[in-house]
Amino acid sequence: MKIVRAIGFIVLYLAIYVAVQLVSQSVLSQLSLQLSFIVNNICTLAIYALLMKARKRSLPIFCRVKAISTKALLIAPLIGIALGTVIYSVANLPVIREDWPQIYNLVEFVGGGSSIALTLLGTVLVGSLFEEVLFRGLILNEVRAVSPVYVAVLVQAVLFGVILMDPILGGFAALGALVYGLVYWASDSLWASLITHVFSSGTVMVWFQMGDLSTAVSSSAVFWTSLSVLLVLLAVHLQFVARGRGAASLASGVSP
């Protein structure tokens, strides 16, 4: 019964997201894509807050918006910068731009807007907040209430890929969601994954704004280097948690 209930709420969260998107296509058709994106996400977050209130739950508490350790606070931005560089370098590899241009188009939307202010407010700040609340805060916690937390981390990543309705694009996006999920799991706080996400999207934006200077990031050498750094940082982050929270709490997802 608990599993059915969790699935029901996850479907509801995603249905609300889709419904707001569909309504906005007609109501907000005169706005720019970035402005429409900002309004959509804010409205959807407001609906989630009302839904949680109707359930007699607090959205921040349910999503585990709580203080993080100094170590997590220091390493989360570094993971974000490394991930953002990986994302940008992958999207700009010649083979990716030629064979899977949808990946470049998605990354360009995240950080390549013509207005720095709208990009910063939209995809870097509001977009990151929305995705963290929906996928790490709501979906991950619904799943880990009825399963081990590593299953929840995988499920939220897969669902993030599925909503993009493109197997190549979804697989690429799911890998990023997996990183955010691991950071969230490790810190047990939405703040850590949100900081990582903001720095990741912000790094992508910075590379796009650098123009010709960013061409060096397109090399495979930079991709492998940044990927190696990312994996090391994730390993260090998880090791901090293993020492601080214990293996049992990591496996169950319950804070000691």
Q: What is the pLDDT of residues 89-110, one digit of tens each?
A: 999 888 898 999 999 999 999 9
Contact (Cβ atoms closer than 8 angstroms) between residue 38 and residue 126: yes
Contact (Cβ atoms closer than 8 angstroms) between residue 133 and residue 59: yes
* 254, pLDDT greater than 50: no
Q: What is the pLDDT of residues 217-253, one digit of tens each?
A: 557 888 899 999 999 999 998 887 656 555 445 455 4
Distances (CA, A) of 169 to 40, 87, 107: 21, 12, 10
Band of pLDDT at residue 182, cut at 50, 70 and 90: very high
Q: What is the pLDDT of residues 114-154, one digit of tens each?
A: 788 989 999 999 999 999 999 999 999 999 999 999 999 99
Q: So what's the pLDDT on residue 256?
A: 32
Better-scored residue on pLDDT, 214 or 160: 160
Q: What is the pLDDT of residues 25-38, one digit of tens each?
A: 787 777 787 888 99
